Amino acid sequence: MIQGGKIGITFPAFNEKAFRLAALKTGYVAACLIVKEVPRTEHAAAVRAELMAARDRDRGEDYELSALAQSIQVSRTAANPVPGEIALVEMTEADGSTCFAVSFNRVFAVDWPLDPIFIREAGASDPSEIQS
């Protein structure tokens, strides 16, 4: 216990661009594993192009995220982790709407990054319920 004096803490500023790119990459790779293929759609190509552009930029170079990368949401739960589990899940938003996400260990989830048609192929029950 510190009883007097000063203490200093330094830490890097939160990098939202890196956070969103990491979420997009993680969600994309996991979604490919779930559907057991690398999708060849315009939307999937846009995800890959975003990730490759980030990879190929010079370190320290600023860049703009696409609307897709900016829109990626990450959720966290208080559930007990299930190590190694990656699953397609349907999530209920605060407003009652639903969306699909990739769940990691039942602890955090990333928005489904692929075309909605792949949700059906990965096991969603009714294609009319798919939100794009």
| Max Cα distance, the chain (Å) | 64
Helix axes 42-56, 16-35, angle to 10 degrees: 140
- pLDDT value for 123: 56
CB-based contacts of 116, cutoff 8 Å, min separation 6: 100, 130, 131, 132
- pLDDT value for 4: 72
Enter the DSSP assignment of 106: T
- pLDDT value for 121: 57
> What's the whole-model pTM score?
0.76
- Could you tell me the CA-to-CA distances from 111 to 2, 11, 38, 44, 118 in Å, in that order? 43, 28, 17, 14, 13
Provide the residue-wise pLDDT of the chain in tens; the chain has 132 residues.
Answer: 556 778 888 888 888 888 999 999 999 999 999 989 998 999 999 999 999 999 998 888 888 899 989 988 899 988 899 998 999 998 888 899 888 999 999 999 999 888 877 776 555 544 344 333
| CA 21/CA 51 separation, integer angstroms | 7
